[in-house]
Amino acid sequence: MNLFVRIRVPFGPPEFHGIVKEFLGMNKALKYRHALLAALVLGALMPVAGCESKGPAERAGASIDKGVQNTKDAINPPGPTEKAGRALDKAVNP
């Protein structure tokens, strides 16, 4: 088994060539393992990146939406199924 793979890398700085040669010389299972690890790390970081507090415009919009919903409820009261659906929505999206 040949442990050294001779690959010519025509681009990038010379110190980059070793990294490319090392990656291209890996077996498929190791490449897939590294790709899976990278995907898991990025997937774990995505929810953290999306967490941010609501801004003033978003809070004002939510207040307007709540006022419109209260007006609709005063005119046409919601039934038990609609109330349960709203409770579920509030539990999922606080």
Question: Residue 1's pLDDT is what?
Answer: 45
CB atoms within 10 A of CB 21: 15
Task: Give 9's contacts (C-beta < 8 A, 6+ positions apart).
Answer: 16, 17, 20, 21
Question: Residue 53's pLDDT is what?
Answer: 77
Question: Residue 33's pLDDT is what?
Answer: 83
Please list the rounded mean pLDDT of every run of 10 residues in the chain (94 residues). Answer: 53 62 67 85 78 82 92 90 90 80
Question: Residue 10's pLDDT is what?
Answer: 58
Task: From 23, 46, 20, select the one nearest 33 (Cα to Cα).
Answer: 23
pTM value? 0.41
Task: Answer yes or no: are the C-beta atoms of 29 and 12 closer than 8 Å.
Answer: no
